[in-house]
């Protein structure tokens, strides 16, 4: 079903480089003396949530933060390895805000808004300044100035990094800024607390119901607006590089309350992950993309060599396929391009390593040349901790034999639809970071996720949330019937989970089956037939889930099985929407590769005339009948061309 109504993105008009400045000027502000009367709830305390909470609290608002982990410092942003982009042009290699903007728009295959992406590029430099002032120990050169490296999809060195732990250091910076506000009493933080539902009062987001994960107690929190900074939903696939706790519940429940969900099928598959080794594996581990700066990716030219020791395979029998296929970018092509190339090689039967479902899924990432050229010390200095990590997991030493890598689910570009102010289609509900859909289009460029989370939190939300609050009267303390209603529906949902009529299988068992359906049909390659099949399978699995899910224990103390079961119930519904979105997008763009729409050489083929839009889905009351709303994308400053990395 299609809907013809127009979504208003509130994108400003005029010259691109003046839009944010002009927009900020037009946004209303709340006087410093009045800010203490407003309450804000921030759900999720990763890069976007912690930075937004710290900024808003510092401005003088009363902020409540919520996270399901035992401490905000454990949010999954902590695991980001590679780096953060900023158009500083420290290397004098021609970088600029315009170039970063262009690389991102092109990287996302022209499926993101110009205004948003330009703003992100523009704010990028301020993020580095902010982080350095906070004491983030970025890598330095011997001059004492900040060091940079290059990343996939770019031909300049604009990525700032703190060894292989950039996300950790940036998150700790934001967490510490947030901790300062907790100590000052401006932030009330609740750990081990999970949002269960959104409270709407007269159609506006005015609070949330949370569950205390230690006691099971349901608590309602009211505020003048709500920010969801809850990360991505890659765990719908079961195996992913996300932390085990990452989930879609907050955004999914907001979706069911009226927030549109945009581009759900855009899932980035990251090319350089450690391959799966067994059936009962619980997660996949990413190896930073920065490794591709010095590592050369290859596979044996002949299938007969696949079982041989890689060090014994002659140079002439190796296929450095990325360098062969994409000479200009070589090993540094964007993630979607590299992932598909690796899949192609493995599908041809030239994969190496463990066999999963009858196919060897892995190729080599080789540092031998780099070690010879630059010396083992230099290479160890750059990638030492990643090498150690790989060594621990696989018991193979990457300085002695090449790493094995294979693509894995990594980042979701889809999320809640937001306008230029990062507000969803629910009045007063904002979404920041990976939880929203904006800025990355159909594929995210490396090192721009950290940038987006922090730009949203430190710079954009403080301005746009203030504008919203300036138009609101602080919510009066009263008994709102909506609170009790929402609470009751949460209780019902939990009781239903705990009392399946025929409890047989653990939630994880269902999750693995759901993940397999998604990976097989809505993964690196999609097609009409398989997507339709997948939708049916998901519907059947969902039905079985509510009949047979087996949850031990009760709702009165820690119950990790119940926590997971609630999240999986939401993945079951979201998964169908992901497939429906992939099915309607009859083109290939970025990470969305429909096999019906590839060029004869296997490159993705967009159909701009028909699909230059954001697909935003409205919940109709029936998960299987979502309504598609299209937000057309206009390109006034760049012309969408073929994404050529050759």
Partner 1 sequence: MKFILHIWRQSRPAESGNFRRYELEVSAESSFLEMLDALNEQLIQAGEEPVAFDHDCREGICGSCSLVINGEPHGRHRATTSCQQYMRDYQDQKELWIEPWRAAAFPVIQDLITDRSALDRLIQAGGYIPVRTGAAPEANTIPVAKKVADKAFDAATCIGCGACVAVCPNASATLFVAAKVSHLSSLPQGKLDAERPAKMLAQMQAEGFGSCSNYRECERSCPKQISTENIVTLNRALYRN
Q: Which residues are catalytic?
A: 335
Please pick, from the candidates 6, 71, 400, 540, the single residue that binds partner 1 as defined by CB under 8 A: 71
What is the CA 511 to chain-centroid distance, rounded? 20
The answer to whether 407 and 524 are in contact (CB under 8 A) is yes
Please pick, from the candidates 41, 156, 162, 579, the single residue that binds partner 1 as defined by CB under 8 A: 162
The answer to whether 437 and 577 are in contact (CB under 8 A) is no
Which residues sit opposite 415 in a β-bridge?
262
Please pick, from the candidates 389, 447, 469, 575, the single residue that binds partner 1 as defined by CB under 8 A: 389
For residue 196, give the H/E element and its range. strand 193-201
Which residue is it, tokens 């294979």? 406
User: By CB under 8 A, how many residues form the interface with partner 1?
Assistant: 80
- Residue 502 interacts with partner 1 (CB under 8 A)? no
C-alpha to C-alpha distance for 269 and 231, rounded to whole angstroms: 16
Question: How many CA atoms does the CB half-sphere of 209 hold within 13 Å?
Answer: 23
Which residue is it, tokens 């919510």? 475
- Residue 170 interacts with partner 1 (CB under 8 A)? no
CB of 181 to partner 1, least distance (A): 9
- Lookup: tokens for 554: 């009760």
Please pick, from the candidates 78, 117, 199, 569, the single residue that binds partner 1 as defined by CB under 8 A: 78
CB of 573 to partner 1, least distance (A): 23
C-alpha to C-alpha distance for 95 and 428, rounded to whole angstroms: 37
- Residue 621 interacts with partner 1 (CB under 8 A)? no
DSSP for 571-619, please give it: HHHHHHHHHHHHHH--S-BTTB-BGGGB-TTS-B---HHHH-EEEEEE-
C-alpha to C-alpha distance for 298 and 633, rounded to whole angstroms: 38
- Residue 183 interacts with partner 1 (CB under 8 A)? yes
Shorter beta-carbon distance to partner 1: residue 489 or 548: 548
Q: Which residue stretch of 128-136, 320-328, 585-593, 625-633 sits at the interface with partner 1 (rule: CB under 8 A)?
A: 128-136
C-alpha to C-alpha distance for 306 and 204, rounded to whole angstroms: 59
Q: Which residue stretch of 7-15, 103-111, 277-285, 300-308 sits at the interface with partner 1 (rule: CB under 8 A)?
A: 277-285
Report the site for partner 1 in 203-242 (rule: CB under 8 A).
214
- Residue 25 interacts with partner 1 (CB under 8 A)? no
Q: According to DSSP H, which parts of 585-628 are helical?
A: 608-611
Q: Which residue stretch of 157-165, 307-315, 335-343, 535-543 sits at the interface with partner 1 (rule: CB under 8 A)?
A: 157-165
- Lookup: tokens for 453: 């989370």
CB of 541 to partner 1, least distance (A): 18
Please give the backbone phi and psi of residue 471, each rounded to the nearest 5 degrees, phi first: -95, 0
Q: Maximum distance among all alpha carbons in the chain?
A: 77
CB of 122 to partner 1, least distance (A): 14
Binding mask 443-472 for partner 1 (x = CB under 8 A): ---------------xx--x----------
Please pick, from the candidates 303, 372, 376, 393, the single residue that binds partner 1 as defined by CB under 8 A: 393
Please pick, from the candidates 553, 602, 632, 641, the single residue that binds partner 1 as defined by CB under 8 A: 553
- Residue 376 interacts with partner 1 (CB under 8 A)? no
Q: Helix, strand, or coil here: 614?
A: strand
- Residue 602 interacts with partner 1 (CB under 8 A)? no
- Residue 552 interacts with partner 1 (CB under 8 A)? yes
Our CA dihedral for 264, 270, 275, 276, rounded to 10 degrees, sits at -10
Shorter beta-carbon distance to partner 1: residue 259 or 455: 455
Report the site for partner 1 in 49-68 (rule: CB under 8 A).
51, 54-55, 58
Please pick, from the candidates 48, 63, 84, 286, the single residue that binds partner 1 as defined by CB under 8 A: 286
- Residue 532 interacts with partner 1 (CB under 8 A)? no
CB of 192 to partner 1, least distance (A): 9
- Residue 163 interacts with partner 1 (CB under 8 A)? yes
- Residue 141 interacts with partner 1 (CB under 8 A)? yes
C-alpha to C-alpha distance for 74 and 168, rounded to whole angstroms: 9
Shorter beta-carbon distance to partner 1: residue 169 or 438: 169
Binding mask 506-525 for partner 1 (x = CB under 8 A): x-xx----------------
Which residue is it, tokens 């090192």? 447
CB of 61 to partner 1, least distance (A): 13
Number of CB atoms found within 10 A of residue 53's CB: 34
Number of CB atoms found within 10 A of residue 346's CB: 22
Strand order in the sheet with 62-66: 187-190, 62-66, 39-43, 225-228, 429-431
Please pick, from the candidates 2, 92, 282, 609, the single residue that binds partner 1 as defined by CB under 8 A: 282
């Amino acid at each position: 079903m299609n809907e013809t109504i127009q979504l208003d993105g509130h994108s400003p008009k005029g010259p691109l480089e003046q839009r944010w400045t002009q927009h900020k000027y037009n946004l209303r502000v709340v006087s410093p003396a009045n800010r203490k009367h407003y309450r804000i709830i921030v759900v999720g305390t990763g890069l976007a949530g912690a930075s937004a909470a710290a900024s808003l609290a510092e401005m003088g608002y009363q902020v409540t933060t919520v996270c399901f982990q035992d401490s905000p410092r454990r949010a999954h942003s902590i695991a980001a390895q590679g780096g953060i982009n900023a158009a500083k042009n420290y290397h004098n290699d021609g970088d600029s805000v315009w170039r970063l903007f262009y690389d991102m728009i092109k990287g996302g295959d022209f499926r993101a808004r110009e205004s948003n992406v330009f703003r992100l590029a523009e704010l990028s430099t301020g993020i580095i300044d902010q982080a350095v002032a906070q004491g983030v120990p970025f890598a330095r050169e011997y001059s004492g100035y900040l060091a940079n490296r290059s990343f996939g999809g770019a031909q300049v060195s604009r990525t700032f990094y703190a060894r292989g732990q950039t996300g950790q250091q940036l998150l700790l910076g934001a967490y510490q800024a947030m901790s300062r506000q907790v100590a000052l009493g401006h932030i009330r933080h609740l750990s081990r607390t999970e949002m269960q539902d959104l409270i709407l009062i007269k159609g506006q987001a005015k609070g949330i119901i949370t569950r205390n994960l230690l006691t099971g107690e349901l608590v309602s929190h009211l505020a003048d607006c709500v920010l969801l900074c809850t990360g991505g939903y890659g765990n719908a696939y079961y195996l992913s590089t996300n932390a085990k706790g990452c989930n879609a519940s907050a955004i999914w429940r907001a979706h069911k309350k009226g927030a549109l969900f945009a581009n759900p099928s855009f899932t980035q598959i990251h090319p350089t992950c450690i391959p799966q080794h067994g059936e009962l594996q619980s997660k996949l581990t990413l190896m930073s993309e920065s490794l591709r700066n010095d590592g050369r990716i290859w596979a044996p030219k002949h299938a007969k060599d696949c079982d041989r020791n890689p060090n014994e395979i002659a140079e002439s029998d190796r296929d450095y396929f990325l360098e062969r296929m994409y000479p200009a970018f070589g090993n540094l092509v964007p993630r979607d391009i590299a992932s598909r190339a690796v899949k192609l090689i493995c599908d041809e039967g030239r994969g190496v390593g463990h066999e999963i479902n009858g196919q060897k899924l892995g190729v080599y990432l080789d540092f031998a040349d780099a070690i010879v050229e630059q010396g083992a010390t230099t290479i160890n200095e750059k990638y030492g901790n990643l090498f150690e990590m790989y060594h621990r997991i696989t018991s193979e030493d990457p300085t002695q034999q090449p790493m094995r890598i294979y693509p894995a689910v990594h980042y979701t570009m889809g999320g809640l639809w937001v306008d230029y102010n990062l507000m969803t289609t629910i009045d007063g509900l904002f979404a920041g970071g990976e939880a929203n859909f904006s800025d990355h289009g159909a594929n995210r460029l490396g090192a721009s996720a950290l940038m987006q989370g922090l730009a949203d939190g430190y710079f954009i939300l403080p301005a746009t949330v203030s504008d919203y609050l300036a138009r609101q009267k602080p919510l009066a303390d009263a008994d709102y019937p909506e609170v009790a209603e929402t609470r009751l529906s949460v209780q019902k949902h939990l009781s239903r989970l705990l009392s399946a009529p025929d409890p047989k299988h653990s939630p994880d068992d269902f999750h693995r089956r759901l993940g397999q359906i998604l990976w097989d049909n809505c993964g690196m390659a999609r097609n009409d037939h398989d997507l339709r099949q997948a939708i049916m399978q998901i519907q059947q699995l969902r039905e079985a889930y509510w009949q047979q899910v087996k949850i031990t224990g009760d709702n009165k103390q820690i119950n990790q099985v119940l926590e997971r079961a609630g999240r999986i119930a939401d993945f079951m519904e979201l998964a169908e929407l992901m497939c429906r979105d992939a099915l309607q997008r009859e083109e290939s763009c970025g990470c969305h590769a429909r096999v019906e729409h590839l060029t004869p050489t296997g490159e993705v083929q967009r159909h701009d005339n028909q699909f230059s839009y954001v697909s935003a889905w409205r919940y109709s009351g029936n998960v299987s009948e979502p309504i598609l709303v299209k937000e057309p994308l206009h390109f006034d400053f760049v012309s969408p061309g073929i994404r050529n990395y050759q």
